[in-house]
Structure 1
Amino acid sequence: MVLAGVGDMKKYDSTKIPQGLISSESFIGTMSAASTQVENQAKGDFLSITMVPKPGTNISYGVVAAYAKESTSKNPIINVTTNYDGKTVSYNINVNEVDPNQASRLEMFALCAYADDVGTGDKSTFGTYQTLRTYQEMAKYNGYISSDSEGDTLEQFKNAKSNWVNMSQKVMDLLYKCNDLAQYNKGMSIMNLFSDYPKVV
């Protein structure tokens, strides 16, 4: 999927990457304890939407975030539902348990949707998750993470873990050197968000 703004941001090309900076930090595992596949779908208000493309086709499937019926202000739970490949599946993500140091895109999408709703996200037009995905594309382009560190299947969306904190910091350093303070400040908001998770309840 082509993300808005990625083309423009690729002009920040770090041609000389310090030795040891290139790393593939994603790994395939199983869903973490923060995520659970559920039968029932969300009952709360719509929060956000993203897309997951099906490899080898021109088809992308919508992924929708909403509050789960079990969600409370102290224990927010986000329900993420998709009809990927014609099969409707739902997952509940316990926001307080999401760890940005080792989280899947499913978990980060839920965390960002919640953060945008309560005002702790980056306050950008297209939402915090969109900013993170743009950062991820920049990180791939500049060699900070492997270009094949993740794929675009639903299994990878929910199971491939990444260190979003490390990746975001590397991109922020590049943005600062390029004097793009608007994008850098979005990163500061995201890092402030990351510092609150996982929460000890």
Structure 2
Amino acid sequence: MKNGPCPNKFQEGYVKIYQSNKKHRSTTYRYCCRKDGAAIKPIKLPISIPFILFMSNLYEVCQVVKDMATYIEEINYLRHRGIRTSFDGEHPNVYKWKSGLKFKYCYYVPLKQDCGSVIQLKRKARSSIITSPNFPRKYSDNLLCHWLIKSPKNSLIRLKFLKFFIEGRKKICPDYVEIRFNLIGQPGIK
């Protein structure tokens, strides 16, 4: 959200929500937005406390920020008699329907990157055990752990989960295991 003039290379825009279908009574949200670069390319920001960024109207994903975990949240405006709005310039992704409006935003928290390792499998040492930090007790929040498993050429890797508990609520799962293959940085299976 805008507070003062937009910085260099940012474009200004707004979303206006009219109160009770009267034009002279409205709330205007002003924004400074950029749309250069790709959301999946990590950016570094000089911040180490939680913050939010609104989702771009170009992407359905959060901008990747180095050393930060992200969660998608939303703000909903609902009216029984419908909602009138106007938009101009660059603004975040807004979903509009007859009686409502939804802004999606990304909530960022600092990561603790203090777990994981490189596991080198060999023809004679063909297995290894990976456990989450603090196992068998609950693991800490906001951890990003990476294990890189290397194996001899032309070998197959089989993953076997003996105990598997992931924290979550109905339809919301902030924790996950992602299995990537071939090149580091390639998207994998969640």
> Could you say whether these structures have the same fold, taking a TM-score greater than 0.5 normalized by the shorter chain as the test?
no
Whose radius of gyration is greater, 1 or 2? 2
Greater share of strand: 2
**Category of TM-score, reference length = shorter chain:** under 0.3
The TM-score, its normalising length taken from structure 2, stands at: 0.23
Higher RCO (CA-CA < 8 Å; seq separation 6+): 1
